[in-house]
């Protein structure tokens, strides 16, 4: 970021500080700034708040500064060179100087297109808080999870993480971070924006203004809701700005959820930071070995299932079900009796609403093997009719298929298997000696229990009626 001549005599400060300059004088904005105008202060930030919405690559920024004013006309210069800040969204307010500070007009430094000057009339001498609001792009966040089961694979510890990446061109050394989870239809006429097909930076000025207005309104609505929290701490050896545990507050409204990371974060441009969003122990989990003609090509996949639900009287900071789970990748591990971990697989998980079931398909496994055979085939039940030329033809008959599945469990504990079979036509039950579900006209699903180290044979038959 370029420095103005009045800043060159000052010691180096972070990028965010450079874009602020306050001058005091009695000159009107239409006059160029004279060399003798006094540099009053270049203040450190008292707070920056980032509300990040991935789907449209838009972040709402609120910067708060304690500035020193003198009676008369004061000029604040704000520059955005080398950043993705949207200058049309810049606003300044005076929450610390109501009635004593007023914006007289806005001007632009001669020959510059990357800066503006607010000319502020002051009736006070001393410090007052001002707030700058604007929208920027280039700040994103993502979620990832680690799940570790116990040796019996009936409970699971789940840790959730949030990673924030700053490629906006601007440093944010003292920022509160808030993350928007879910899909917001900001403007009905450009619904594609919420689906990630359009980006905020690509919109024309009129649509940008609509998006900014609606986004700010939805954030304000979420802010009015009571929050619930889960633990969040800094990871990967980065400096901890606040020694106490951080908290991610989940605040809900109908369209989306707003996660607020407690405390303030250092987010330099070009950096990323990983935060622990929650840590939950002893989540009840079911392991199902699932094979489907349609979905797994008949191979057995290992699936972990649990609910994003809160247990009664459980601490919300150590519980699922407090809020939806954002899209992310889940790395699944299983622990053995010696506390060694075996990697089960990485699973892309879609947004999971509160109370919904999470299904983590870790892919094909050799722990349980399914072999399928067609043992016999019969055709019978023929019905004939005469044609108009007095010849005969077969009008109706049935085909009967005799199948056998062999399920081999190589584990030291019993397992539950789910087998889904699709047949070549609208079938009627034949000799099926077990309980099953009829999924549709051509598909059944059944759930054999297989004991430890057992090789189990499952014979059955189905009948398909045919007509000419």
Q: Is residue 333 scored above 90 in pLDDT?
A: yes
Q: What is the model's pLDDT at position 1?
A: 36
User: Do residues 289 and 200 make contact, with C-beta atoms less than 8 angstroms apart?
Assistant: no
Going by pLDDT thresholds of 50, 70 and 90, the confidence category of residue 284 is very high
Question: For residue 216, is pLDDT > 90?
Answer: no
- Among the listed residues 170, 183, 174, 180, the one whose alpha carbon sits nearest the alpha carbon of residue 134: 170
Buried b / exposed e across 112-125, counting CB within 10 Å, b at 16+? eebbbbbbbebeee
Answer yes or no: is pLDDT of 440 > 70. yes
Q: Could you tell me the pLDDT band of residue 344, with boundaries at 50, 70 and 90?
A: very high
CB distance 273 to 246 below 8 Å? no
Residues 303/354, Cβ–Cβ less than 8 Å: no
Residue corresponding to tokens 């109501």: 98
* CB-neighbour burial class of residue 357 (10 A; exposed 0-12, middle 13-18, buried 19+): exposed
What pLDDT does residue 14 have?
Answer: 44
Residue 37 above 80 pLDDT? no
User: Across the chain, what does the average pLDDT equal?
Assistant: 80
- Decide if 249 contacts 227 (C-beta within 8 A): yes
pLDDT of residue 462: 86
Distance CA 424, CA 431 (A): 17
Helical residues (DSSP H) of 2-138, grouped into ranges? 15-18
Q: What are the structural domains of the chain?
A: 5-48+60-136 (no CATH), 139-280 (no CATH), 282-363 (no CATH), 368-467 (2.60.40)
pLDDT > 60? residue 381: yes
Is residue 184 within 8 Å of residue 51, measured between CB atoms?
no
Tally Cβ neighbours within 10 Å of residue 104: 15
Mean pLDDT over residues 80-91, rounded? 91
307 beta partners: 357
Q: Has residue 85 got a pLDDT over 90?
A: yes
3-state secondary structure 96-126: CCCCCEEEEEEECCCCCCCEEEEEEEECCCE
| Segment of 12-21, 106-115, 285-294 carrying the highest mean pLDDT | 285-294
Angle at 242 between CA 271 and CA 230, to 5 degrees: 85
Residue bearing the bigger pLDDT, 148 or 393:
148
pLDDT band at 352 (very low <50, low <70, confident <90, very high): confident
For residue 119, CA distances in Å to 25, 108, 290, 325 come to 10, 10, 68, 46
Strand-pair partners of 463: 400, 428
d(CA 443, CA 421): 6
CA distance linking residue 330 with residue 350, whole number of Å: 10
pLDDT category at 372 given cuts 50, 70, 90 is: very high
The residues, ordered by sequence, that sit 6+ positions from 48 with a Cβ below 8 Å of its Cβ are 16, 61, 62, 63, 64, 172, 174, 175, 176
Decide the pairing of beta strands 155-166 and 272-284.
Answer: antiparallel
Tell whether the model's pLDDT for residue 457 goes beyond 90.
Answer: yes
CB 434 within 8 A of CB 446: yes
At 463, is the pLDDT very low, low, confident or very high (cuts 50, 70, 90)? confident
Which own/partner pairs from 114-118 qualify as long-range (CB within 8 Å, at least 24 positions apart)? 114/2, 114/79, 114/80, 114/81, 115/77, 115/78, 115/79, 115/80, 115/81, 116/77, 116/78, 116/87, 116/90, 117/29, 117/33, 117/75, 117/76, 117/77, 117/78, 118/75, 118/76, 118/78, 118/92
Question: How many C-alpha atoms does 377 have within 13 Å on its Cβ side?
Answer: 5
Judge if pTM exceeds 0.75.
no
Positive or negative torsion for Cα 233, 247, 316, 272? negative
Task: State the burial class of residue 168 (Cβ atoms within 10 Å of its Cβ: 0-12, 13-18, 19+).
Answer: buried
Mean pLDDT of 164-184: 86
461 or 246, which is more confident? 461
Which range of 132-146, 226-240, 273-287 scores highest in mean pLDDT? It is 132-146
Looking at the chain, how many residues does it have?
468
Place of tokens 């990983």: 274
What pLDDT score does 43 carry? Answer: 54
pLDDT classification of 360: cutoffs 50, 70, 90: very high
Q: What percent of the chain has pLDDT over 90?
A: 39
Q: 278 pLDDT band (50/70/90 cuts)? A: confident
Q: Return the higher-pLDDT residue of 457 and 234.
A: 457
Q: How far is the C-alpha of 139 from the C-alpha of 51, rounded, in Å?
A: 10
- What is the three-class DSSP state of 425? coil
Question: What pLDDT sits at residue 71?
Answer: 93
pLDDT tier at 197 (50, 70, 90 boundaries)? low
Distance (Å, whole) CA 1 – CA 20: 11
């Amino acid at each position: 970021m370029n420095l103005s001549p009045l800043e060159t005599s000052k010691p180096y400060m972070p990028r965010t500080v450079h874009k602020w300059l306050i001058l005091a004088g009695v000159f009107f904005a239409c006059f160029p700034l004279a060399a003798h105008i006094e540099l009053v202060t270049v203040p450190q930030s008292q707070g920056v708040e980032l509300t990040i919405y991935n789907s449209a690559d838009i972040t709402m920024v609120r910067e708060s500064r304690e500035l020193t004013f003198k009676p008369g006309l004061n000029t604040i210069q704000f520059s955005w060179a080398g950043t993705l800040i949207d200058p049309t969204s810049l606003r300044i307010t005076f929450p610390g100087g109501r009635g004593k500070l007023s914006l007289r007009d806005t001007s632009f430094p001669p020959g510059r297109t990357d800066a503006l000057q607010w000319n502020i009339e002051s009736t006070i001498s001393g410090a007052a808080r001002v707030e700058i609001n604007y929208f920027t792009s280039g700040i994103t966040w993502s979620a990832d999870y680690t799940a570790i089961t116990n040796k019996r694979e009936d409970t699971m510890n789940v840790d959730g993480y949030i990673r924030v990446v700053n490629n906006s061109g601007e440093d944010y050394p003292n920022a509160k971070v808030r993350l928007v989870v879910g899909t917001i239809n900001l403007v009905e006429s450009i619904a594609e924006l919420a689906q990630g097909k359009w980006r905020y930076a690509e919109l024309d000025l009129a649509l940008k203004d609509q998006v900014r207005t609606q986004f700010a309104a939805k954030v304000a609505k979420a802010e009015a809701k009571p929050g619930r929290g889960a633990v969040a701490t800094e990871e990967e050896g980065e400096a901890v700005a606040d020694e106490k545990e951080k908290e991610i507050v989940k605040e809900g409204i109908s369209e989306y959820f707003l996660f607020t990371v407690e405390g303030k974060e250092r987010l330099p441009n070009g950096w990323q930071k990983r935060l622990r969003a929650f840590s939950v122990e002893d989540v009840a989990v079911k392991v199902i070995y699932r094979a489907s003609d349609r979905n797994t090509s008949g191979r057995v996949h290992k699936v972990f299932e649990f609910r994003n639900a809160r247990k009664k009287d459980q601490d919300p900071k150590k519980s699922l079900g407090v809020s939806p789970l954002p899209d992310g990748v889940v790395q699944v591990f299983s622990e053995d009796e010696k506390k060694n971990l075996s990697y089960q697989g990485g699973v892309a998980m879609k947004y999971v609403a509160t109370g919904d079931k999470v299904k983590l398909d870790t892919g094909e496994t050799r722990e349980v093997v399914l072999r399928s055979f067609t043992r016999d085939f019969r055709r019978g039940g023929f019905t004939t009719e005469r044609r108009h030329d007095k010849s005969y033809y077969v009008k109706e008959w049935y085909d009967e298929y005799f199948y056998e599945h062999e399920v081999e469990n190589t584990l030291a504990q019993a397992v539950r298997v789910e087998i889904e079979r699709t047949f070549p036509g609208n079938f009627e039950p034949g000799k099926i000696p077990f309980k099953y579900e009829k999924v549709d006209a051509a598909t059944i699903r059944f759930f054999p229990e297989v004991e430890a180290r057992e090789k189990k044979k499952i014979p059955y038959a189905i009948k398909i009626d045919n007509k000419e």
